[in-house]
Amino acid sequence: MSVTAPQGFEAAGVAAGLKSTGKADVAVVVNRGPRKVGTAVFTSNRAKANPVIWSQQVVADRTVEAVVLNSGGANCFTGAFGFQTSHLTAEKTAELLEVSAGDVVVCSTGLIGTGDEVFRGKVLAGVEAGIAQLSADGGQAAAEAIMTTDTVAKTVVVRRDGWTIGGMAKGAGMLAPGLATMLVVLTTDADVDAADADAALRRATGVTFDRLDSDGCMSTNDQVTLLANGASGIRPGLDAFAAALTEAADELAKKLQGDAEGASHDITIVVRGAVSEQDAVEVGRSVARNNLFKAAIFGNDPNWGRVLAAIGTTRAVFDPYDTEVWMNGVRVCAEGGPDRPREEVDLTPRATDLVIDLKSGDATATIRTNDLTHEYVHENSAYSS
């Protein structure tokens, strides 16, 4: 069901010929109202793709009628022509839906530098075909149309008393914070105003997608868009809505982690005992981005020294001689030296738990990452070929 699980949303996914495999590659999600609240968060990469630049303008007034997404080309670093393509995509959509082009969000994913006339023609034809196929059952087809190296379509539905949140996500590798590299659309029939929608989206992404750091690489195309139409007639409070939205975002984030390119371990890094949440996040990220640690986990090797070496590169408050490291429940380092024998740690399961106790305060944070594998190198060396 994904984005069409809440009332008042329609979606479609069609094959427009952007993917050489012939699979679906253009998705359309339309909000049928009554309200047309929309907001989004974007990559913090300063090299932004054209659809990001376009969509930042669109969401400024917190009104969104539709989202058009394509896989098979990032339309990034494609010059003025590429920006015009995003603009034309919105105009075509607006014309067919009889809405304003300024209320149509555009998202693209694929190889940077792809966005020529052929690309433009296929996207525009895809928009036309997609809108012709819009339906209240189209959520799954839309989720499939945004896949790139994803091995599964990623969707979520969170139900509350009388209202629902639906969502779809694409992303597999190039996952880094601020945001993780991904395209996500979240929909809800709850009656939330623009301010609450925006606040809830930032709260939810801040502790979910922003803390997913698969390979430290930040994309040029990330967008997470939230559409709200109030079709349920129920108005949850901000806290209740934000909690449900966080649940939906967390579920999608876990699915992104679980499908990261070539990964063989899903690593959950819990940092506790930090002086501040910021310190906890910085420590978690430093470990999540350490290639030596990630390669060790791939090899089922509880090499805790690499954890300490990573923490040492941060500015966080900690005492190297009073920090604890736990791997899958076994305390392997305490008081600046080896604790339990590394042989006690079983790293063969895919789910890997790393706990770091800085013993300096009460703050905590969780960062999700993956291991560094032969397959990761292989997939990313062959990406554009």
Q: Decide: 49 and 85 in contact? Cβ < 8 Å.
A: no
Site string for its own copies, 47-66 (x = CB under 8 A): xx------------------
17/285 Cα distance (integer angstroms): 38
Determine the Cα–Cα distance for residues 266 and 288; give it in Å rounded to an integer: 11
Is 181 part of the annotated catalytic residue set?
yes
The site string for its own copies over 327-366 (x = CB under 8 A, - otherwise) reads: ------x-xxxx---x------------------------
Specify the residue, 93 or 290, whose C-beta has the smaller distance to its own copies.
Answer: 290
> Which residue, 231, 313, 316, 302, is CA-closest to 271?
316
307-313 long-range contacts, CB within 8 A, separation 24+:
307/333, 307/354, 307/356, 308/333, 310/286, 311/283, 311/286, 311/287, 311/356, 311/358, 313/286
Q: Is 311 in the site for its own copies (CB under 8 A)?
A: yes
- Measured from the CB of residue 198, what is the shortest distance to its own copies in angstroms? 24
- Within 10 angstroms of residue 299's Cβ, the number of other Cβ atoms is 13
Residue placing its CB nearer to its own copies in the complex, 9 or 318: 318
Residue of 4, 78, 93, 181 with catalytic role:
181
Report if residue 246 touches its own copies, rule: CB under 8 A: no
**Mapped to the 3 state alphabet, what secondary structure does 225-236 carry?**
EEEECCCCCCCC
Asked if residue 372 binds its own copies (CB under 8 A), the reply is yes
Cα–Cα dist 276/38, whole Å:
32
Tell me the C-alpha distance between 154 and 252, whole Å: 7
Instruction: Please list every residue from 64 through 103 that binds its own copies, using CB under 8 A.
Output: 74, 76-79, 81-82
Number of residues located near its own copies, criterion CB under 8 A: 63
Q: Does 111 bind its own copies (CB under 8 A)?
A: yes
Please check if 20 is assigned to a binding site.
no
- Is position 384 an interface residue for its own copies (rule: CB under 8 A)? yes
Binding residue (CB under 8 A) for its own copies from 72, 304, 352, 355: 304
CB-based contact 189:1 (threshold 8 Å): no
Tokens of 220: 């040029």
Question: 148: annotated binding-site residue?
Answer: yes
Footprint of its own copies on 160-199 (CB under 8 A) = 173-174
Residue 42, SS3 per DSSP: strand
Residue 283 binds its own copies (CB under 8 A): no
Per the omega criterion (within 30 degrees of 0), is the bond before 179 cis?
Answer: yes
Active-site residue set: 181
Enumerate the known binding-site residues for substrate.
Answer: 148, 170, 181, 261, 380, 385
Q: Which residues bind its own copies (CB under 8 A)?
A: 45-48, 74, 76-79, 81-82, 111-113, 173-174, 215-220, 289-292, 295-296, 298-299, 301, 303-306, 308-314, 318, 320-321, 333, 335-338, 342, 372-374, 376-378, 380-385
